[in-house]
């Protein structure tokens, strides 16, 4: 019984199984990287941090005074 030339990925290639393992490994690494990246962004508060929130934080830390805060707040509201 003849099946033809192509009998499946890596069926006659000695490196076919190795290529599949390496490819799968990179897919798993990519998925882990995506999960870590999204978790890192959520942890550091990058999601939903508006300009006004950042301005309020700077004022609370004492980086800018009340006058600067009010001027910048007006600029942001335009």
Are 8 and 31 within one domain? yes
Same domain, 57 and 33: no
Confidence of residue 3 (pLDDT cuts 50, 70, 90): low
Q: pLDDT value at position 9? A: 55
pLDDT of residue 76: 86
More confident residue, 13 or 59: 59
In eight-state DSSP terms, residue 11 is S
Q: Are 47 and 39 in contact (CB under 8 A)?
A: no
pLDDT tens column, 25-63 = 999 999 999 988 887 766 555 556 788 889 999 999 999
Supply the pTM of this predicted model. 0.41
Residues 42 and 54 in one domain: no
Q: What mean pLDDT value characterizes the chain?
A: 80
Q: Are 62 and 38 contained in the same domain?
A: no
Residue 72 burial (10 A CB sphere; 0-12, 13-18, 19+) = middle
Which domain range does residue 14 map to?
1-46
């Amino acid at each position: 019984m003849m099946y033809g030339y192509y009998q499946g990925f890596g069926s006659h290639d000695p490196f076919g199984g190795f290529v599949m393992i390496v490819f799968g490994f990179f897919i798993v690494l990519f998925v882990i990287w995506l999960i870590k990246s999204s978790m890192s962004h959520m942890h550091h508060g990058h999601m939903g941090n508006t300009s006004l929130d950042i301005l309020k934080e700077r004022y609370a830390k004492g980086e800018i005074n009340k006058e600067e805060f009010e001027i910048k707040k007006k600029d942001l509201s335009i």
